[in-house]
Homo-oligomer: A and B are copies of this chain.
Amino acid sequence: MGNVKMKDVAKRAGVSVATVSYVINNTKNVLPETRERVIRALTELDYRPNSIAKSLRQKMTNTIGVIISDASNPYFTSMFRGIDDVFTKLGYQLIVCSSDEKPEKERKYLELLSQKQVDGIILAPTGGNRNYINDLLRSGLPMIFIDRYLEDVKIPAVVVDNTEASYQATQHLINMGHRRIGIIVGLKDISSTKERLNGYEAALKANGIPLDPELIKSGYSNTLEGYKAMLELLNLPSRPTAVFGTNNLMTIGLMQALQNNHVKCPEEIAVVGFDDFEWATAFRPFLTTVAQPTYELGKTAAEMLLKSREEEIKVTRVILHCQFMIRESCGCLLPHSQTQLS
């Protein structure tokens, strides 16, 4: 009743363990009648294979590790779905870990996952652990970067066109007549943050608007930091007339700050956010957002990981495109219109 093994099944069926294995895995021809006997023993004893033993023998765990910054962030959970859908079909399982943007936690999880002999890792790198990541690669562990990448680490990466998307969002605000545009970004040593900042700065420059460092606020990507950043912007001697929240959680915090201080959006301040929410069209103001193809991001990364286990992969960066969802929060009067970024 406790734990029945192949040995027990073999005894019951009057065959050898090898034969049991053959039947279970369909790995060799077995006489129909012996197979019959084995199957009966299997069900009678309620045999359940031990995949740990199997993994040890085959050096394959059918497990994929995923390290992202915050497993409870809707942005990542959608990505997670994309990854999961690909791997579940193939009988793989996912171990998801949150690094919280902390290199030490990331390091710990990388160690744990490699010890657990995962067959591959999908990683949104914090920016640290370059050497260790290279070590793991050399030891033959396949990895894919997602959402961001490390300049000097040669792993395929699946990301979005952050610079262009950010440029377009900023340009749109400029088109609406804004010249003092605040921006709230995540940690600055993350590639996606840098790119979003670049797009913002490029748009300003292209329009002859001087860059004001006071309008740039950075912090961990959570609501509280977004809230505080917005407060600082509101307290500026010359308050911005528009804000660009470059990730979902900070944008929520930003909006909370506006509500708490009774600053009307978009009348008093225009807002554009990153990451589209399902509830962006359920509550007011409808939020104008840069919608990332989060599900596809995950799906693509998963597929690349699979491919990279077969052939050496040549392409090192896949760039997916964002969609600019223009709604009322940016002061535009065309609700629900949308344009595809070129």
Contacts from A to B (Cβ < 8 Å): 1-3, 46, 48-53, 55-56, 61, 63, 71-74, 77-78, 80-81, 84, 91, 93-98, 111-112, 114-117, 135, 138-140, 223, 249, 252-253, 255-256, 259, 277-279, 281-287
Give the residues in chain B near A116, CB-CB below 8 Å. 51-52, 63, 93
Across the interface, do A252 and B94 meet the contact criterion of CB distance under 8 Å? no
Point out the residue from B52, B256, B279 that lies within 8 Å of A252, measured CB to CB.
B279
State the number of copies, please.
2
Across the interface, do A95 and B98 meet the contact criterion of CB distance under 8 Å? no
Question: Given contacts A56-B56, A84-B98, is CB(A115)–CB(B49) below 8 Å?
Answer: yes
Across the interface, do B93 and A252 meet the contact criterion of CB distance under 8 Å? no
Point out the residue from B115, B138, B284 that lies within 8 Å of A51, measured CB to CB.
B115
Shortest beta-carbon distance from A272 to chain B in Å: 15
Across the interface, do A56 and B48 meet the contact criterion of CB distance under 8 Å? no
Across the interface, do A94 and B96 meet the contact criterion of CB distance under 8 Å? yes
Question: Given contacts A56-B56, A93-B112, A115-B50, is CB(A2)–CB(B139) below 8 Å?
Answer: yes
Give the residues in chain B near A55, CB-CB below 8 Å. 52
Give the residues in chain B near A114, CB-CB below 8 Å. 48
Q: How far is the CA of A56 from the CA of B49 in the complex (A)?
A: 13
Across the interface, do B81 and A50 meet the contact criterion of CB distance under 8 Å? no
Point out the residue from B53, B72, B95, B284 that lies within 8 Å of A74, measured CB to CB.
B72
Across the interface, do A48 and B115 meet the contact criterion of CB distance under 8 Å? yes
Across the interface, do A94 and B93 meet the contact criterion of CB distance under 8 Å? no
Give the residues in chain B near A80, CB-CB below 8 Å. 71-72
Q: How far is the CA of A117 from the CA of B50 in the complex (A)?
A: 7
Across the interface, do A95 and B97 meet the contact criterion of CB distance under 8 Å? no
Across the interface, do A255 and B282 meet the contact criterion of CB distance under 8 Å? yes
Across the interface, do A93 and B93 meet the contact criterion of CB distance under 8 Å? no
Give the residues in chain B near A73, CB-CB below 8 Å. 77
Q: How far is the CA of A281 from the CA of B111 in the complex (A)?
A: 40
Q: How far is the CA of A48 from the CA of B278 in the complex (A)?
A: 43
Question: Given contacts A255-B279, A283-B284, is CB(A52)–CB(B48) below 8 Å?
Answer: no
